[in-house]
Structure 1
């Protein structure tokens, strides 16, 4: 089972989704540790694995990969452009000027 882990808006958790975009649960930070909270189809698949505590996000991702025998990739949050948003007139600007 291949899983993508995406930062959630709350800044303290990461959503886990499969390749079809279905929720597989989340990874939650509580203080200095993290735990895996499976949901949907992942509840049964991840039932016998360690759910935490983990010291790092990499440790949690590694546990998921080891147990599911798939890949677990972190999708970084998109970086904000320096200085805020990009002006609309610059979105399609060419460098050929």
Structure 2
């Protein structure tokens, strides 16, 4: 299924959290926090400005981003947990 968010919203898939420490200790799911990094899966057309024009988003599909721990609305689509958030909720694009 394809999903396209409206306006200035993006769909983000959280990156997998490390379950092992540097020293090799395996952490249970209850001891780990949700990651604050993810990959952009889909983007909207852009933000509607006061003059009615659409300003395109700064992020694109495939970008890795940094966002707040409690940012976005969690949704489950085809068994995947995704986040829907506005572009302004993103902190940075991670360049690799």
* Larger Rg belongs to: 1
Please say whether Structure 1 and Structure 2 have the same fold, judged by a TM-score greater than 0.5: no
Could you state the TM-score of these two structures normalised by the residue count of structure 1? 0.23
Q: RCO higher in 1 or 2 (8 Å CA, sep ≥ 6)?
A: 2
Q: Say which structure is richer in helix.
A: 1
Could you state the TM-score of these two structures normalised by the residue count of structure 2? 0.24
